[in-house]
Amino acid sequence: MSNEPSPQALRFIKLLSYRRNELPKEEIANKLGFDSPTELYRQVSQDNYPICPVCGTTDVPRSHCSPEREYKRQARRGTSEAEELPPAEAAAPLFHQALKKLDWAVVNLQNQHEYWHGGRFVAQEVYKMQFAVLLVLM
């Protein structure tokens, strides 16, 4: 067994050492071969060391900077007058048009033939002609 630390352990140790020496986080990331501190934090977190992958705080749970906390939205207080919008009913023709297209597409599925050929999907529409013979007897 080797007494040498793994590359992951060495990265975490160097990160802590550079922080202790009060190097800027961008410089620490560059010294450890990363383009940004966030990339470094994500990698150290993936290496299973106790660090927040977003802000880099150590000894915190992975959910320390959860998206809910980071991007919490608050409703704005309106200062202008309310503006009435068009009625939702006005969109009905658009829905009818979309439904007609979908109905046609569903009916047209009977003509759709798909194959796996040479590592590719091939789709084609095949229409079969049907002839009706009308005999008129007099």
Instruction: Delimit the domains of the chain by residue range.
Output: 7-66
**Could you tell me the two tokens for 125?**
């529409």
Token pair 């880099």: residue = 56
CB 38, CB 65: distance < 8 Å: no
The pLDDT-based confidence of 26 (bands split at 50, 70, 90) is very high
C-alpha 22: how far from chain center: 36
The pLDDT-based confidence of 70 (bands split at 50, 70, 90) is very low
CB 44, CB 7: distance < 8 Å: no
pTM: 0.47
Looking at per-residue pLDDT, the higher value among 77 and 74 belongs to 77
Q: Is the pLDDT of residue 102 over 70?
A: yes
Mean pLDDT of 114-138: 77
